[in-house]
Structure 1
Amino acid sequence: MDPSIEQLADRARGLAHRGGRHLLGIAGPPGAGKSTLAAELVSRLGSGRAVLVPMDGHHLAQAELERLGRARRKGAPDTFDAAGYVALLTRLRSPEAGTAVYAPAFDRTLEEPVAGSIPVAPDVPLVVTEGNYLLHDEGPWSRVRALLDEVWYLELPDAVRVPRLVDRHVRFGKDRAYAERWVRDSDERNARLVARGRHRAHLTVLMGPGP
């Protein structure tokens, strides 16, 4: 479907109003607009009603990727601490009174995860999480979907998504030629893998080209 941001915010607000803690996942290929949409939803719900916890906080550190020989495939499923992400979602599903959960973030300038960056208070009714592999069905990733009350899959035409992805890499310091190679050889391999889980989503959102 092609809902408006207002309709999506209303749907997210409905989850927040059910009582207790609910988790909303936003999945899709690299460059589809996951982080932008997730941040907009949290902003519209307002402070204290929703918090954003990105999957990317569970990237393995660059030094570990180099030790494993996986630095050239950063962003592939095995370059994350998937079991750690599952453990975090499990804690978030069952908040303890008086106890905040601290989630990691990902600093795109440093290209590194940063632990303990995002506090999630126990009385926040909605946690929004976004990332490539929320619908992936291999290894620890296969446990993610069951921990989420809803998962939305974002689609954006490749003719818009791929140049946007290249531009994002350039904006964060990569040479354009290098960024184009990285998108072709790494990001798009990941995108094809992500697309395999599309049918497992509760809702498919057709994204517009945006600005």
Structure 2
Amino acid sequence: MPTELSAERAVDAARTLLDEALRSGSRRMLGIAGAPGAGKSTLAERLAEQLGTQAVLVPMDGFHLADVALARLGRLARKGAPDTFDAGGYVALLQRLRTARPQDAPVWAPMFERELEQPLAGAIEVRAEVPLVITEGNYLLLEDGPFAQVRTMLDACWFVEVPEELRRERLIARHERFGKPPRAARDWALGPDEDNARLVAATRDRADVVVGVSSAR
């Protein structure tokens, strides 16, 4: 069973992993999983900011398939489900980051631009000398399909947990903030997002640590 950690202690825990990397001379990989709206992106961004140039954040969301591809595949109405990502590409990137040597050229990772609701290639530079890579996303702890390989790439994986009512409120507010009308925002948060949240919740016990988050974004 995972141990529990407060959000306030998360930076200290990440520093411990960073210290291990510096002592060993070997990069460490930290994963942060959680349901949509749990606060994993906010936590990961805070860790990366606090650790400065010794850490870099590479979100799983950069591997969203573009809307044009999802429409062609008939999956646009389920955007955010596991099969709406390039999971194999994400695993391949983690493998490159895991095996990078100090003399290697930088790796360029994609990001997800919420203003466009689209992935952007080559947006995040990961220099080989950076000792800690933080990656966050819904499906880091899945046991089935191509995402199952993700856990093997990580030195530690945390699961962010938040009260369900707050999580749903955050999601609805986020969808409205990025352009959905209130009714559509609610329908999406309580429809596709909720289906994905149930799937992610079932992976909780595979985490090393559960981080409790209660404050609003």
User: Which sits farther off after the overlay, 67-76 or 200-209?
Assistant: 200-209
1:8 alignment partner, one of 7, 10, 33: 10
Distance 1:210 1:168 in 2: 12
RMSD after superposition: 1.0
Distance 1:10 1:189 in 2: 33
Distance 2:143 2:74 in 1: 24
- 5 Å-filtered alignment, 1:73-152, equals 73-96=78-101, 97-152=103-158
Distance 2:155 2:116 in 1: 32
Matched with 2:58 is 53
Matched with 2:201 is 195
Distance 1:192 1:4 in 2: 22
Q: Percent identity?
A: 54
Distance 1:132 1:4 in 2: 18
- Give the conservation status (yes or no) of the 8 Å contact 1:2–1:207: no
Deviation at 1:104, TM superposition (A): 0.3
Distance 1:123 1:205 in 2: 28
Distance 2:145 2:11 in 1: 32
**Equivalent position SS for 1:144:** helix
Distance 1:210 1:65 in 2: 31
1:179 alignment partner, one of 169, 185, 190: 185
Deviation at 1:94, TM superposition (A): 1.1
TM-score (norm 2): 0.94
Distance 1:29 1:98 in 2: 34
- Give the conservation status (yes or no) of the 8 Å contact 1:30–1:191: yes
Deviation at 1:185, TM superposition (A): 1.2
Deviation at 1:3, TM superposition (A): 1.6
Q: Deviations over 1:54-81 (max 9, x none)?
A: 0000000100000000000000000000
Matched with 1:68 is 73
Change (3 A) 1:4 1:28: closer
- Give the conservation status (yes or no) of the 8 Å contact 2:7–2:211: no
1:160 alignment partner, one of 163, 166, 170: 166
**Equivalent AA in structure 1 for residue 106 of structure 2:** A
Deviation at 1:4, TM superposition (A): 4.1
- Give the conservation status (yes or no) of the 8 Å contact 1:55–1:130: yes
1:204 alignment partner, one of 196, 204, 210: 210
Q: Deviations over 1:100-153 (max 9, x none)?
A: 010000000111000000000000000000000000111111100010000000
Deviation at 1:209, TM superposition (A): 2.7
* Structure 2 unaligned spans of 5+: none
* Structure 1 unaligned spans of 5+: none
1:31 aligns with 2:34: no
- Give the conservation status (yes or no) of the 8 Å contact 1:32–1:161: yes
Deviation at 1:184, TM superposition (A): 1.2
Distance 2:7 2:85 in 1: 32
- Give the conservation status (yes or no) of the 8 Å contact 2:37–2:168: yes
TM-score (norm 1): 0.96
Deviation at 1:181, TM superposition (A): 0.5
